[in-house]
Chain A
């Protein structure tokens, strides 16, 4: 019974153990051995207390942790979904139709190497420091990742599979929707996951440049007033949320792209 339980949750248990070790080392070095001053690197206990307090307190940056998180998530998911909704069909179109490819590719290849963050100044000039500028930065990030991966995925379509479609009299549309897109699904999900991770990272960076709320803003403010404990709370939050979002997408992928990975 016990062994069965251990076997089933082996991976989870090891993951938890690895996190626990890091926390323990942190606790020993800072809280017990007092290797640094807590104004430079705070201990585990203090960080945890700051976390609990920040759940309800608006000091020192004008919003609770939950409000910052919600603001960041809102901007991130907004920009991300628009990027995905536009990027995936465009990637499909470019990979499936050579005219689309010829028309769009030159422009796309030109903007692709520009990192999302490099768009920030331009977007701030155009949209101000509101939600739009940041959402646009995220949009660019997710748009590019979705197009590149979707395109690659569709291009992986096996010619033999298209022949099978021909044998059974599949129309061009059926070959796209019933053969090419299923082939590309794992790559599309890779794109979605890359884009989500990238969006989340770009957002926090954008918030550090221009924002009045959000996790990135909170971290930046905490740095100004020398609150490393709050910086760490913010960083941990970013990490945890990023991880949770990725896990959710992974779960959706295993539900949607069945049979495509050797389980």
Chain B
């Protein structure tokens, strides 16, 4: 089945978003449109404060657009919901819960019985490679391990869409490469539609089926690249480097 034939899961149409600031009105998103198909991995790539996080927050439903519409699986987004898993930029684990407690949290809120939710949580703990750490508290984990828990937690409620807001932004360079490989492996095992925000071009090329390059504030689609390189990709292959050069210009 070709990508084109798969159904559209996310449709953003002409979104505007601005915030009131002391100096007046600060527009962060302008006329942004995006269509994401099922199981497509999309990277939103753009400079520092260009409104990428706002885009994720809009699709997640934490904020509502001033103009335009957002449809996820055909339904308009009005609030956060369990069909959209979110992996946050900062460490957002609950420090008072163990790895297991954090991963099964969403299922607990959904009222899934204890035995079933622990089995399901275990599956995703294994998937992200944290077996043996089920009963550890986040304070004992490294930054990379914490983000693994974050990914497992988002996966555990089996959302159709995964929204990731610079999840590896706070990691050191080496851990970051490792986590990119890990995320690709996880995603290939359990395919989801992913919107992944990053300001790191290598990360975008390594992970994405399609890269949306955003302009600086207000964010709007500047250019789009379909990345056809076979996975797993090599950071130093000529094709990779050529793409990198092209996108960076």
Contacts and interface: CB of A to CB of B under 8 A. Distances in A.
A262 B139 contact: yes
B145 to A, nearest CB: 14
Given A163-B80, A262-B139, A168 B96 contact: no
Nearest to A174: B109
Contacts of A174: 109
Residue from B84, B85, B92, B94 with most neighbouring chain A CB atoms (10 Å): B94
A160 B81 CA distance: 15
Interface in B73-87: 79-82, 84-86
B48 interface: no
Given A161-B94, A167-B60, A182-B96, A259 B139 contact: yes
Closest 10 pairs (CB-CB, A-B):
A259-B137, A168-B106, A166-B80, A182-B96, A168-B109, A160-B92, A170-B109, A167-B80, A167-B86, A259-B95
A257 interface: yes
Interface string B170-210: 00000000000000000000000000000000000000000
Given A161-B92, A259-B95, A166 B62 contact: yes
Which bracket fits the contact residues of A?
Answer: 20 to 34
B14 interface: no
A31 B107 CA distance: 69
Contact of A166 (B79, B90, B110, B139): B79
B128 interface: no
A145 to B, nearest CB: 22
A160 B90 contact: yes
A260 B140 CA distance: 11
A163 B154 CA distance: 13
Interface in B199-242: none
B82 A169 contact: yes
A259 B92 contact: no
A163 B62 contact: yes
B32 interface: no
Contact of A168 (B82, B88, B97, B137): B82
B92 A168 contact: no
Contacts of B80: 163, 166-167, 169
B36 interface: no
B98 interface: yes
A252 interface: no
A185 B88 contact: no
Given A166-B79, A169-B81, A258 B105 contact: no
A169 B110 contact: yes
A164 B93 CA distance: 9
Residue from B60, B85, B137 with most neighbouring chain A CB atoms (10 Å): B137
A262 B95 CA distance: 10
A165 B109 contact: yes
A194 B79 CA distance: 41
A117 interface: no
Given A163-B86, A165-B109, 9 more contacts: A160-B92, A164-B94, A164-B105, A166-B79, A167-B60, A167-B80, A182-B96, A257-B96, A259-B97
A261 B88 CA distance: 23
B114 to A, nearest CB: 15
A162 B80 CA distance: 11
A260 B139 CA distance: 8
Nearest to A165: B109
A238 interface: no
